């Protein structure tokens, strides 16, 4: 996953294996900092590292501080300026400044709290990790940071002392219909950080030859989405044009909390789809969640351009923008 998504899991594994582990997290940035706020690096007591807080500029210095933190058990708040020369080395036009919080696991960061965080992530449960940068007081919360959860934006609160690390489940894209548009959309979605799953009961369409290395389910769509689950980090895209295949998944999506539902088809096709959903008992508000015709109107021609328009609309909805 992008941004080294499994860093907390690695930290817990290393700690429980007896190697020791310290988590380093970017808590603030100024200028053209190499890594976004919330990026993490884990350092083992034997010097192993995974992840990144600066693209390579200050990892060596953070490693030294982390090993000292493992010795004394205390958290550290570090600040580094990334010079223009170092910034250029990692592909930036100019330098910046970052603040990095280092927390030794089992001491400043209790093992039980890290284990609870890891378990929540395994359940695809959105959770925020709050820590007071001065006192070190910390807790896990599920509520109270709606905007940060929606924007995937970790950062320091207005009080200047409370850092909030957002741990959202990975984005997931469920595509019903292994058609040409799906062949273009899947690799684009992967680049954007989505974990795609393709559903199509027609095995000739949903084949490894057409989608090499991808997860393909040949179940009936309502059974497949029930197996996968639909949550607030899931986008549901319907591409078959066939109501027998699309509608069962669509009805499941309308009952669930997935953040985006898009359905391929013309305005006329969408009107017929709306009528079917009304007959199925869905409310106007529920049906209004369907983006159909799917995608932003960019004058797309051909599968690749349609895929671009779909991914753009998904992004807008995810980030709270009105497409």
Considering the domain boundaries, does residue 206 fall inside one?
A: yes
pLDDT at 177: 96
* Residue-number span of the structural domain to which 242 is assigned: 171-318
- Asked whether the bond before 322 is cis by omega within 30 degrees of 0, the reply is no
Give per-residue pLDDT as tens, 79-102.
Answer: 987 665 655 555 444 567 889 999
Say if residues 37 and 84 touch (Cβ distance below 8 Å). no
Within 10 Å of residue 123's Cβ, how many Cβ atoms?
11
Which CATH number characterizes residue 216's domain? 3.40.50.720
Rounded Cα distance, 40 and 121, in Å = 15
Last residue of a domain, one of 152, 167, 182: 167
Residue 35's Cβ-count burial label (10 Å; 0-12, 13-18, 19+) is: buried
Q: Identify the H or E element spanning 163.
A: strand 162-167
Instruction: Tell me whether residue 1 is in a domain.
Output: no
Q: Which residue has the higher pLDDT, 94 or 223?
A: 223
Asked whether residue 323 is assigned to any structural domain, the reply reads no
| C-alpha 284, offset from chain centre | 30
pTM of the model: 0.76
228: pLDDT strictly greater than 70: yes
For the segment 165-172, the average pLDDT, to the nearest whole number, is 92
Give the tens place of pLDDT for each residue, 20-44.
Answer: 999 999 999 877 666 789 999 999 9
Beta bridge partners of 53: none
Same structural domain for residues 192 and 233? yes
Shared-domain flag, residues 264 and 133 = no
Are 145 and 279 within one domain? no
| Residue 217 shares a structural domain with residue 149 | no
The pLDDT assigned to 3 comes to: 44
Judged against a pLDDT cut of 50, whether residue 166 lies above it is answered with yes
pLDDT at 239 over 80: yes
- Structural domains of the chain, count: 2
């Amino acid at each position: 996953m992008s941004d080294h998504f499994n860093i907390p899991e690695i930290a817990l594994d290393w700690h429980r294996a007896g190697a020791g582990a310290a988590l380093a997290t970017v808590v603030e940035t100024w200028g053209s900092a190499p890594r976004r706020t919330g990026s993490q690096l884990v350092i083992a007591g034997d010097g192993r590292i995974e992840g990144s807080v600066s693209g390579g500029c200050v990892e060596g210095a953070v490693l030294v501080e982390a090993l000292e933190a493992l010795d004394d058990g205390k958290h550290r708040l570090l600040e580094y300026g990334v010079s223009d020369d170092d910034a250029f080395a990692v592909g930036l036009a100019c330098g910046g400044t970052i603040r990095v919080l280092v927390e030794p696991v089992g001491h400043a960061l209790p093992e039980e709290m890290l284990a609870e965080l890891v378990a929540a992530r395994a359940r695809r449960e959105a959770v925020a990790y709050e820590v007071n940068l001065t006192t070190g007081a910390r807790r896990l919360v599920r509520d109270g940071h709606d905007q940060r959860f929606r924007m995937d934006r970790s950062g320091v609160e207005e009080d200047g002392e409370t850092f909030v690390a957002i741990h959202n489940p990975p984005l997931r894209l469920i595509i019903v219909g292994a058609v040409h548009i799906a062949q273009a959309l899947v690799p684009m979605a992967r680049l954007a950080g989505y974990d795609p799953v393709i559903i199509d009961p027609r095995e000739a369409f949903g084949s490894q030859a057409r989608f090499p290395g991808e997860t393909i389910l040949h179940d009936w769509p309502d059974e497949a989405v029930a197996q996968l689950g639909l949550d607030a980090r899931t986008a549901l895209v319907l591409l078959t044009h066939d109501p027998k295949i699309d509608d069962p998944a669509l009805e499941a999506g309308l009952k669930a909390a997935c953040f985006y539902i898009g359905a391929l088809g013309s305005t006329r096709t969408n009107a017929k789809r709306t009528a079917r959903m009304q007959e199925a008992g869905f409310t106007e508000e529920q049906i209004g969640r369907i983006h159909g015709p799917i995608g932003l109107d960019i004058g797309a021609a051909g599968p690749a351009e349609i895929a671009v328009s779909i991914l753009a609309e998904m992004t807008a909805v995810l980030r709270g923008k009105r497409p």
